[in-house]
Structure 1
Amino acid sequence: MTAMAAKQSISEFGQLLKQWRQIQGFSQLDLALAANSSARHVSFIETGRSRPSREMVLRLAEVMDLPLRERNRLLNASGYTGAYAETALDDDGLSQVRRALDHILRQQEPYPAVVMNRCFDVLMINHAGAKMMNMLGLRLGGEAGPPNLLRLTLHGDGLRGVIKDWDRVARHMIERAHRQVRGAGETDPLKKLIAEVLAYPDIPDDWKLENPADDALPILPLAFELGGHTLSWITTIASFGTPQDVTAEEIMVECMFPADGETEAAVLALQDSED
């Protein structure tokens, strides 16, 4: 690496470090103490006067509890290779992850469950989930890639017409996306997706900024109006503990449970009709 390239790389790292430090609520002194360093050294690497070691970059990222994707980004910005792989879910290296996901999806029957990545692409789905998507008239996949729940929720041809209280649900979905993209670079695929869906017709301008909804409900139910019936759900989101791969860390398993007796009875009746 040339001296000029190194200086430019350090400057990029310093800007990124400062951004994340402020997002995570650290002063230079707080970060230095947590990383067993000095405020002077943190100041020097932020301003480009010193180049951090690879170990220091990883230590700072660990202290700030950054996502693995952003830890790699910090390493790259300081001139080092990333420390964490981003393995395709169908790769042999994630076979145990897929087995665990298969088990979760099976155990969730007869209620819907989906496996998504950070960008809300549906990677796996159980039988109940696929059946519900078919009932809602949604595409499960095709040449354009996997279905995307953020697009499906906000697009006029997606779920807008069947989600009860769509404005409230969609606003929560956007807030969730904003939280997941906090601190990401301009080329981040989720940031691009958010810009895409916010450009859909009739999307309020204030959704473009992170603005958490002031909602009195402890859990916001997701209700679908279908054939004169209302199916109402509450959802849980699970992730893997102690991941060491970017893909594994960003996997979300969303499981749906009946929010009322009417929905539970409808699901069980439908299951009995198939047996």
Structure 2
Amino acid sequence: MESHMSHFGELIKDWRKNRGFSQMELAFESNISSKHISFLETGRSQPSREMIIRLSNSLNIPLNERNILFSAAGFAEAYQRSDINQPEMKAVRDALSIMLNNHLPYPAVVFDWDWNIMMENQSYQQITQFLREQQPDFPDTTNILEILFDYNGARPFIENWDEVASFILQRLHREKIMFQDRRSDRLEKLLEYPDIPKSWQTISFVEQSRPMVNVIINLGQLKLNLFSTLATFGTAIDITMEELMIEQYFPLDEVTKNFFLS
């Protein structure tokens, strides 16, 4: 039991520091004493399941990482990862389909934590299909990042590619810090592209202050000027649900709006 307590304490301390909280700040957010936080971190106190949930909520810890905390404290894992195609996930798929279709005629897509496309609406499919027809060696992948960064993919059509790519790489840098359990070399592979500037290799606090970035798609005689919003399942109790992202695109000018309405 003592080794469990010690391991949990080390993990929760790492999360507290990762989120930039002092023991007093975490205690205030969790409505417990800072002394109790200290005892939990040093292994002098054993956390209850309720305490793990309370601290996880205060630190905004992802569900998969919470399972690690439960195991470290000697408890069974609390959250499962379901295949989105399983029958019990039908309600989730139906909800996503409604969101995608309700966003028509504008593009919308659902992707997982590693940027693999899970679902897309007709408008998003049509744009992707157009790009495929223009590029004979279009990458055989459903990963958004691989399509975006590949010279044979969407990259030549993104007029402000540098701006978009830099913004996305900064997001990947932040996600690598925030979601420590995720095992992916996606960021490292993207940074290996020969023309990636050194300033993109590390996290930038200037980029973090930007709420969004526009995307300008150059289709030759027509330019589409778009911005997008990202949404998640805020009350997810399944790891797969929590990791899904819904991206919806909106027109920024009348030309773009009329293109999709026509």
Answer whether TM exceeds 0.5 for this pair.
yes
Q: Does 1:207 align with 2:200?
A: yes
AA partner of residue 169 (structure 2) = I
Q: 2:103 aligns with which of 108, 132, 148?
A: 108
AA partner of residue 129 (structure 2) = N
Of 153-162 and 254-263, more deviation after overlay is shown by 153-162
Q: How far did 1:216 drift?
A: 9.8
1: CA distance, partners of 2:210 / 2:79: 38
Q: Does 1:58 align with 2:53?
A: yes
Q: How far did 1:122 drift?
A: 0.6
Shift in alpha-carbon separation, 1:210–1:257, aligned structure 2, 3 A: same
2: CA distance, partners of 1:205 / 1:87: 39
1:220 match:
213
Q: Does 1:169 align with 2:155?
A: no
AA partner of residue 253 (structure 1) = I
Of 108-117 and 205-214, more deviation after overlay is shown by 205-214
1: CA distance, partners of 2:42 / 2:197: 39
TM-score by length of 2: 0.86
Q: Secondary structure at the match of 1:137?
A: helix
Q: 2:237 aligns with which of 237, 244, 247?
A: 244
Of 239-248 and 213-222, more deviation after overlay is shown by 213-222
Write the mapping of 1:14-25 to structure 2, written as runs, cut at 5 A.
14-25=9-20
AA partner of residue 118 (structure 2) = L
2:67 match:
72
Shift in alpha-carbon separation, 1:183–1:80, aligned structure 2, 3 A: farther
2: CA distance, partners of 1:256 / 1:53: 43
Q: How far did 1:253 drift?
A: 1.0
AA partner of residue 78 (structure 2) = A
2: CA distance, partners of 1:83 / 1:155: 39
2:258 match:
265
Q: How far did 1:169 drift?
A: 0.6
Given that residues 118 and 180 in structure 1 are in contact (C-alpha distance below 8 angstroms), is that contact kept between their aligned partners in structure 2?
Answer: no
AA partner of residue 181 (structure 1) = K
Given that residues 170 and 208 in structure 2 are in contact (C-alpha distance below 8 angstroms), is that contact kept between their aligned partners in structure 1?
Answer: no
AA partner of residue 197 (structure 1) = L
1:234 match:
227
Given that residues 171 and 213 in structure 1 are in contact (C-alpha distance below 8 angstroms), is that contact kept between their aligned partners in structure 2?
Answer: no
Q: 2:36 aligns with which of 31, 37, 41?
A: 41
1: CA distance, partners of 2:18 / 2:64: 16
Q: What RMSD, in angstroms, separates the aligned Cα atoms of the two structures?
A: 2.6
2: CA distance, partners of 1:149 / 1:242: 25
Q: Secondary structure at the match of 1:189?
A: coil
Q: 1:189 aligns with which of 169, 183, 191?
A: 183
| Structure 2: segments with no counterpart, 5+ residues | 134-138
1: CA distance, partners of 2:155 / 2:205: 21
Given that residues 226 and 250 in structure 2 are in contact (C-alpha distance below 8 angstroms), is that contact kept between their aligned partners in structure 1?
Answer: yes
Q: How far did 1:267 drift?
A: 2.6
Of 193-202 and 42-51, more deviation after overlay is shown by 42-51
Q: How far did 1:62 drift?
A: 1.9
Q: How far did 1:172 drift?
A: 0.8
Q: How far did 1:215 drift?
A: 9.5
AA partner of residue 93 (structure 1) = E
